[in-house]
Amino acid sequence: MITVLDKFHPDKHYFKTPYPHVVIENALPQDLYNKLAKDFPVKEMQEKLPLIEGHTYRYLANDVLNKKTIPVSEEWQTFFETHTSQTYYEKVLDIFKNDMPYSENQIRTAIQVRGVDETAGDMVTDTQFVVHNPITTGTTRTTHIDNPQELYAGLLYFRQATDNSTGGDFEIFDTNEVVGVHKLKGREVSQDTDKSLVRTVKYQPNTFVMFLNTGKSVHGVTTRQNATVERLSINIIAETRSKQNLLFHLKNA
């Protein structure tokens, strides 16, 4: 079972501040990455899936593994099975265990893929194809905090060989604990929030970044300049099943 965490070494890839996160370059074996990149279903998603907020397509694990809305390669099928599995979930928890703010009772549980069985268990996992169409101004993700249901989030980048743009990089910020956000702007933090940039993870092929989601996990994506092709990535997440079961609280979230 090959995962994006197989090369993980805590001394090299783990960062405690400003909140726990992991950065791994060349995360997957190159031959596997090349196969996945070749078979990333960009055109199929654009043809068959709804466009979200005018710029984004998402293809979720339940649709990939069970509904099979768009057929994927055997390598992608295995990738999605692996990264939504109990084994992978436990591996992520072990990485973050020394900095975990949530109780064992909250997170140490049997998981299922989101959307499969809405009556079983408290935690669910998801893996998603994400395609961002090129936009001419701004960014698809301003500085924000993720859904308070979310336990962790990972991004594996699939920058295309023909992508000559600049930007699209992942930014990690240090702030005081955020208590309120703009819900209608994707939980964007207020412009007057005192924040400082700690780390920039370049949008490069086969680069993986993952973070523990807390009330301090402020991050964003830099503006892409001269973008003519799609920005491609894979989201790998775990979250609580119920919207009433939040891991932390944000005003207006």
Which DSSP string corresponds to 96-156?
A: HGGG--S-HHHH-S-EEETTT-TTS-SEEEEEEEEEEPP-SSS-SS-SB---TTEEEEEEE
Share of residues in the chain with pLDDT > 70 (%): 91
Mean pLDDT of all residues belonging to the chain: 91
pLDDT band for position 145 (50/70/90)?
A: confident
Beta bridge partners of 31: none
Q: How far apart are CA 102 and CA 111, in angstroms?
A: 16
Give residues with Cβ within 8 angstroms of 209, minimum separation 6: 21, 22, 23, 24, 154, 155, 170, 201
Residue 191 has pLDDT above 90, yes or no: no
Residue 157 has pLDDT above 90, yes or no: yes
Residue 179 has pLDDT above 80, yes or no: no
Q: Which two tokens stand for residue 3?
A: 């995962």
Residue 123 has pLDDT above 90, yes or no: yes
Residue 139 has pLDDT above 60, yes or no: no
pLDDT at 195: 86
Q: How far apart are CA 43 and CA 41, in angstroms?
A: 6
Does the predicted model carry a pTM greater than 0.85?
Answer: yes
Q: How far apart are CA 146 and CA 151, in angstroms?
A: 9
pLDDT band for position 30 (50/70/90)?
A: very high
Beta bridge partners of 182: 188
pLDDT at 184: 47
pLDDT at 192: 67
Q: Which two tokens stand for residue 86?
A: 């109990």
Share of residues in the chain with pLDDT > 90 (%): 76
Weakest mean pLDDT among 77-86, 159-168, 241-250: 241-250
Mean pLDDT of 52-71: 95
Weakest mean pLDDT among 12-21, 70-79, 104-113, 243-252: 243-252
